Amino acid sequence: SAVISQKPSRDICQRGTSLTIQCQVDSQVTMMFWYRQQPGQSLTLIATANQGSEATYESGFVIDKFPISRPNLTFSTLTVSNMSPEDSSIYLCSVGTGGANEQFFGPGTRLTVL
Amino acid sequence: AQSVTQLGSHVSVSEGALVLLRCNYSSSVPPYLFWYVQYPNKGLQLLLKYTSAATLVKGINGFEAEFKKSETSFHLTKPSAHMSDAAEYFCAVSEGRGTYKYIFGTGTRLKVLA
């Protein structure tokens, strides 16, 4: 397993601003993922962030809106840019590890955009 | 492509009663199936996983799930509900061997009545 922390745990932001969310893992992992969970909804994958390569974005998500950094095997950031109220969600990072393709999730960042 | 369906967005059971949360996957046999639990204001925690080693899988907190190929199901059960089981439960399927990408179900919110 892996222990994952996220900062901040929650934030309230003004529209038009940007927020960078940090994800820290207690061990080296190759694959990290960023998800969005809109209120009352399931998880939607934003992108896969592998160290040493550009993040791979899912349909409907673009780098200009959600730039991702992955400087090393234990850390990643997701920026939510030019925010609008529709970006109010929980953002979760996860890591892929284990022999059965398990993912382990961070506690999430609860974002409210006014 | 894989898909997963969770029947019942809300399930209520009495404390001490059987918990049954339903999950059906698409017709092609997935390599891995998972159940995650999300407590209020928390990230996702892995409950159990199916890896084809055994059709009946036991997880944490007294939960278990049975893989039934003939029914394309992977329902989650617990013999006796506890108040602390109240949470959101997500079924997920991996997209294939060698990939950590998941498809999540829409989630089932479990309410436990005293």
CA-nearest of B18, B65, B22 to B46 is B65
Residues of chain B contacting A110 with CB distance shorter than 8 Å:
41
The strand ranges marked E within B30-99 are 33-38, 44-50, 56-58, 64-68, 73-78, 87-94
CA separation for the pair A49, A33 (Å, rounded): 6
* Mean pLDDT, residues A40-49 taken together: 91
CA separation for the pair B88, B85 (Å, rounded): 9
- Residue B16 has a pLDDT of 97
* Run of H or E including A79: strand A75-80
DSSP tally for chain B: helices H, then strands E: 0, 12
Residue A53: partners with Cβ closer than 8 Å, 6 or more residues away? none
- Residue B97 has a pLDDT of 67
Q: How far is A105 from chain B (nearest CA, A)?
A: 6
User: Vertex A95, ends B78 and A13: CA angle to 5°?
Assistant: 95
Smallest Cβ–Cβ distance between B106 and the set A42, A94, A105 belongs to A42
A87 phi and psi angles, rounded to 5 deg: -85, -5
Average pLDDT along chain B, 114 residues, taken 10 residues at a time = 87 97 84 90 89 88 93 95 96 78 91 96
* Three-state secondary structure call for residue B13: strand
Residues of chain A contacting B105 with CB distance shorter than 8 Å:
42
* Mean pLDDT, residues A75-99 taken together: 93
Residue of A nearest to B39 (CA): A107
Q: Are B107 and B7 in contact (CB under 8 A)?
A: no
Q: How far is A84 from chain B (nearest CA, A)?
A: 22
Residue of A nearest to B89 (CA): A42
Smallest Cβ–Cβ distance between A42 and the set B41, B42, B105 belongs to B105
Whether B45 sits inside 8 A of A105 (CB atoms) is yes
Question: With bands split at pLDDT 50, 70 and 90, how would you rate the model's confidence at A9?
Answer: very high
**A8 upstream amide cis, omega within 30 of 0:** yes
Instruction: Look up residue B27 and give its amino acid.
Output: S
Whether B100 sits inside 8 A of A33 (CB atoms) is yes
Smallest Cβ–Cβ distance between A43 and the set B42, B46, B104 belongs to B104
CA-nearest of B90, B6, B10 to B42 is B90
Smallest Cβ–Cβ distance between B99 and the set A41, A99, A101 belongs to A101
CA separation for the pair B34, B93 (Å, rounded): 6
* Mean pLDDT, residues A65-90 taken together: 96
B90 phi and psi angles, rounded to 5 deg: -120, 130
Question: With bands split at pLDDT 50, 70 and 90, how would you rate the model's confidence at A100?
Answer: low
The DSSP call for residue B9 is S
CA separation for the pair A68, A88 (Å, rounded): 18
CA separation for the pair B56, B74 (Å, rounded): 9
Question: With bands split at pLDDT 50, 70 and 90, how would you rate the model's confidence at A101?
Answer: confident
pLDDT tens for A13-41 read: 999 999 999 999 999 998 899 999 998 88
Residues in chain A: 114
